[in-house]
Every structure is written in structure tokens, then in C-alpha cells.
């Protein structure tokens, strides 16, 4: 019996993790959203545990989709959910007060697990907030020693979220091929 591959969506509150999983999942996603009582978050509901969905790929393989809570007080969940993941989708909201700092918080907090995992970064709301630019995000990633695919994304659009997952799976496949060559 094989375990279905798992992809984790992470990022700050409001980045669109729950929405992205809802857009891509083939089943009604499970969500642990509750009423938001944090005055610092400009949203009515927030995830306190995890989001979960599944998507079937073209070859019939099912991938489990997990979304982390965004608040740093739940950072213990980030690392738990990343265990045995084949990759990470890091989302950011470009209209947030300091989206670069938001992304940096996750790069620092997840520095250990990110060393061994494929990752792709999706930046939402770039059409309405053009600063920072994708180049600014790329420079931030480089300062942390990462070269990840970086895309503008509308997390409400299945095609956009699917593109993030496809890029992530391509990285995972390339990594597995390289590891196979080293061990073979």
C-alpha cells in the first residue's frame, strides 16, 4: 500500500492558502477556519489547524493538499504538516503591508525543511499592487540561498494553482531522477 504524495500550501494569513486548495481540490476541502478575533488580521475567518483537499493528476495519481495556518503562533503546525511532503507552495499577498517580510518570516522559520524540499512561490494580487516586484522577491529568495520558481497567481483560478503544483511536481521529479542517478 503506497501513501499518496502530499503538497503543503503555506504563507501568511490572507495569502490565499484555503482559497487555493478550494480552487484545485477535486473533493470538497476540509477546513478548520474559525471566526477571526485577531484585530491585526483584516479577514472574517482564519485557519487554526489545517486545510485539506485532494487532486487527481492526469496519470490517475492522487495528491493530497494541505494548507497551514498563517499566524506565527501556529508555527509548530507548519513543520508537522511539512513532514513527508514532496514539496511546498509558499503563497504571499502582494497587497499586504509588508509582503517581503511575510515571505521572509516563512523562509526563516522553515529554513531546515526547505533545504530538502522543492518549493514554488506564488504571489497574489500583483495586478492591484505592483510593488514589490517579482525581482524584489527573487532577490529576497537569493539572500536566503534559494532559487525557486516565482509566479504571479490568482489563487481563485484553478489553472493558476494547477500551474504552481505542476512546477512543484516537475522539481520533485527532477530531484528524484538526480537522486536515482547518484544512487544507481
Q: Give domain limits for the chain.
A: 6-183
What separation in angstroms does the CA of 133 have from each of 144, 155, 180, 184? Answer: 17, 18, 37, 42
- Torsion, Cα of 69, 50, 82, 171 (10° steps): -90
Task: State the fold for domain 6-183.
Answer: Rossmann fold (3.40.50)
CA separation for the pair 51, 80 (Å, rounded): 13
**Residue 1's pLDDT band (boundaries 50, 70, 90)?**
very low
pTM of model > 0.85 = yes
Is 45's pLDDT higher than 70?
A: no
First to last CA, the chain: 24
Across all residues in the chain, what is the average pLDDT? 88
Q: How far is CA 35 from CA 12, 17, 71, in A?
A: 17, 16, 14
> Quick one: pLDDT band at residue 76, thresholds 50, 70, 90?
confident
Percent of the chain surpassing pLDDT 90: 65
Q: What percent of the chain has pLDDT over 70?
A: 87
Predicted pLDDT of residue 19? 94
Q: pLDDT by residue (tens digit) across 156-178? A: 999 999 999 999 999 988 888 88
Query: What is d(CA 12, CA 10) in angstroms, rounded to the nearest whole number?
Result: 7
183 close to 177: Cβ distance less than 8 angstroms: no
Q: What is the β-pairing status of strands 119-124 and 62-67? A: unpaired
Averaged pLDDT for residues 84-110:
96
C-alpha closest to that of 146 among 96, 106, 95, 97: 106
Q: Where are the beta strands (DSSP E) in the chain?
A: 6-10, 30-35, 45-56, 62-67, 87-93, 119-124, 150-153
DSSP-assigned letter for residue 36: -
Tell me whether strands 62-67 and 87-93 are parallel, antiparallel or unpaired: unpaired
Amino acid at each position: 500500500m503506497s501513501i499518496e504524495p502530499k503538497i503543503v500550501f503555506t504563507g501568511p494569513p490572507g495569502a490565499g492558502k484555503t482559497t487555493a486548495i478550494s480552487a484545485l481540490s477535486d473533493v470538497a476541502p476540509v477546513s478548520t477556519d474559525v471566526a477571526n478575533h485577531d484585530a491585526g488580521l483584516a479577514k472574517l475567518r482564519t485557519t487554526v489547524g489545517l486545510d485539506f483537499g485532494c487532486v487527481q493528476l492526469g496519470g490517475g495519481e492522487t495528491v493530497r493538499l494541505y494548507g497551514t495556518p498563517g499566524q506565527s503562533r501556529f508555527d509548530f503546525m507548519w513543520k508537522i504538516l511539512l513532514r513527508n511532503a514532496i514539496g511546498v507552495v509558499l503563497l504571499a499577498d502582494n497587497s499586504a503591508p509588508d509582503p517581503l517580510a511575510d515571505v521572509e518570516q516563512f523562509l526563516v522559520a522553515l529554513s531546515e525543511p526547505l533545504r530538502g524540499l522543492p518549493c514554488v512561490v506564488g504571489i497574489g494580487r500583483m495586478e492591484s499592487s505592483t510593488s514589490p516586484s517579482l525581482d524584489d522577491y527573487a532577490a529576497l529568495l537569493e539572500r536566503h540561498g534559494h532559487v525557486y520558481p516565482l509566479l504571479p497567481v490568482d489563487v481563485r483560478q484553478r489553472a493558476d494553482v494547477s500551474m504552481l503544483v505542476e512546477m512543484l511536481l516537475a522539481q520533485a521529479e527532477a530531484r528524484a531522477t538526480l537522486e536515482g542517478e547518484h544512487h544507481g
